[in-house]
Structure 1
Amino acid sequence: MHIQNKIAIVTGASSGLGRAFSKSLIEKGALVYGLARTEKVLQELKQDLKEKFIPVVLDISEEKKVEEWVTTTFSKENIPQILVNNAGLGSFHKIEETSFKEWSGMINSNLNGMFLITAAIVKLMKTTAEVKHIVNIGSVLGKVGRPESVAYCTTKFGVQGFSAALLKELREDHIKVTCLNPGSIATDFFKTSGIEAHQNMLQPKYLAHTLMHILETPDNMLIDEITVRPLNPKKPEEE
């Protein structure tokens, strides 16, 4: 795919990884709709990324609001070619210390929200013969378990299954589906479990480079799943 002049949607655009994805897509010439729940952060990102970034305040776990946004924003003449399902919540505690509110929040954001936005956008993607691409951001924790991460691991294992089934369903509609599974990333995502970000973790900008490589593969070539880890995940002082 040539990214120039394509329309892209990035969920969770206000996060470190979502910001990096949005920036790289715009640098490649795409128009990016950046979705997140916090208007202030999105407006700050708009100031940085300029006119090619369209901020959208939206909770993707709210079905009616997702449907309303998609139907009022897009049409058969204005179809997104790229969807990056990046939005996700993480809370890391022992299972008996994990509240149902935390569990439900992760299910709603990491799975229900991904389903709702994907189902709505796929309807439009199916109407053209050009190649489109959906990239779901999974995690290494969608492949292996981790203590004090039952809820998060459950959702990311779900992303794996969602991606694998969706690929088989959509490939004949010229829609690629990729599951990108990062290891530890240099953000504050795991701070609640006592893991502080450090320079040996994966850097968001390099994962954005990986995303661009996935998107720019030839039309009849698909990377269906890719796992990216730090070569050395230890803190520099522990090496």
Structure 2
Amino acid sequence: MNFVVVGASKGLGDAFVKGLPEKGDHVWIVSRNRPRSLKLDDGIHRTWIQADLSQITSSDQIAVELKDVPIDVFIYNAGIWEKEGFKEHYDFEKDDPKDIENILYVNTTSAILCTQKILPNLKKSKNAKVILIGSNDGNENNESKQVTYVASKFGIRGIGNSLRENLREHEIAVTCINPGEIAATIPYEEGLEKALATYNNRRIPVQDIVSLVKTITTLSKASCVKEITMPAMLDTNA
């Protein structure tokens, strides 16, 4: 299979690059910084596409690198948030307008442009899947105070809904996954048990999300998983 993972130099994206493909598969890794996963020698072909998703030219860079290669799985995992957004002292009134613009661009506009540019490659696949990584904060009744981040993740859900209708005639499934807090600081190769122990079962191990996406990618083209909300079990606010 051929994969493209956007936002893949660390965290969940890095886990997708390591955990989804099997020996002989090819993964194109889209990120601003050089991913360490390029050093792996596990029979999986990995190619780095260096791109700054805050720039309008990034989607064109991806298209140029892919050329006419069929792509089976496209994952848009890029996401940024307010600088102090997850801290108790966060203050919406102090958000910089440039940061607001950048968050919306990377999290939503770039997702649209990158998907648009890769569609010719997806149409060449016999069973293509598009996976958009949203957030539980993009759902109704969330308690987040991050206005721009939340708006962008609501936007990802909207992108998925409309994109699905555009691609239905091509039988390309579009899935939006909205996870809760992820144990993204624990690398995929260090294992699920370490993630569970480190966060006392209060954050989702990246292995769980990789397993979920792997299941989706193995479904036939007769099926379409529209949206999955996946909060942490012990998150009483989800």
TM-score, with length taken from structure 2 = 0.83
- 1:137-184 CA distances to partner (integer Å, 9 max, x unpaired)? 011111134342111100000001000111111011121100011011
- Structure (1 or 2) with the greater helix fraction: 1
Is residue 129–residue 173 contact of structure 1 (8 Å, CA) maintained in 2?
A: no
Three-state SS of the structure 2 residue aligned to 1:34 is: strand
The alignment status of 1:146 with 2:143, answered yes or no, reads yes
Q: Are the counterparts in 2 of residues 11 and 36 from structure 1 also a CA contact under 8 Å?
A: yes
Taking structure 1 as reference, are residues 17 and 49 closer, same or farther at Cα in structure 2, changes over 3 Å only?
Answer: farther
Identify if the C-alpha distance between structure 1 residues 230 and 69 changes in structure 2 by more than 3 Å, giving closer, same or farther.
closer
Given the alignment, which residue of 43, 47, 55 partners 2:39?
47
Report the alpha carbon displacement of residue 55 of structure 1 after superposing the two structures with TM: 1.6
Of 61, 65, 70 in structure 1, the residue corresponding to residue 63 of structure 2 is: 70
Once residues 125 and 212 of structure 1 are traced to their aligned partners in structure 2, the CA distance between those partners, rounded to angstroms, is 17
Give the secondary structure class of the aligned counterpart of 1:217. coil
Aligned to 1:198: 199
Work out the CA distance in 2 between the residues paired with 1:134 and 1:64.
21
Alignment correspondent of 2:192: none
| 8 A Cα contact 1:94 1:147, kept in partner | no
In 2 relative to 1, CA 142–67 (structure 1 residues): closer, same or farther, beyond 3 Å? same
> What SS class does the counterpart of residue 90 from structure 1 fall into?
coil
Structure 2 counterpart SS, 1:27: coil
2:230 corresponds to: 228
- Name the SS of the counterpart of 2:81 in structure 1: coil
Alignment of 1:100-179 (within 5 A): 100-126=97-123, 128=124, 130-144=126-140, 145-179=142-176
Output the CA distance in 1 between the equivalents of 2:170 and 2:200: 41
C-alpha contact 1:26 1:52 (8 A) present in aligned 2: no
1:22 aligns with 2:17: yes
Q: How far 1:49 sits from its partner (Å)?
A: 5.7
- Give the structure 2 partner of residue 180 of structure 1: 177
Cross-structure match for 2:195: none
Shift in Å at residue 131 of structure 1? 2.0
Cα deviation, residue 136, structure 1: 0.2
Aligned letter for 1:74? K
Partner of 1:221, secondary structure, is coil
**1:194 corresponds to:** none
Number of equivalenced pairs: 215
Q: Sequence identity of aligned pairs in percent?
A: 26
Question: d(CA) in 2 for partners of 1:9 and 1:30?
Answer: 11
Work out which of the residue numbers 57, 60, 63 in structure 1 matches 2:53. Answer: 60
TM-score when scaled to structure 1? Answer: 0.83
Which of 57, 78, 82 matches 1:87? 78
The 1-side partners of 2:204 and 2:13 are apart by: 14
Q: Which SS does the other structure have where 2:64 is aligned? A: helix
Deviations 1:31-52 (A, max 9, x none): 110111112xx1x221136552
CA shift in 2, pair 1:174/1:89, >3 Å: same
CA deviation after TM superposition for structure 1 residue 130, in Å: 1.9
Cα 1:28–1:167 shift into 2, 3 Å? farther
How far 1:29 moved relative to its partner? Answer: 4.8
Q: CA deviation at 1:15?
A: 2.3
1:59 deviates by 1.4
* Partners of 2:115 and 2:49 in 1: CA distance: 16
**Pair 65,181 (structure 1): closer, same or farther in 2 beyond 3 Å:** closer
Partner letter of residue 46 of structure 1?
L
Kept in 2: contact 1:180–1:226 (CA 8 A):
yes
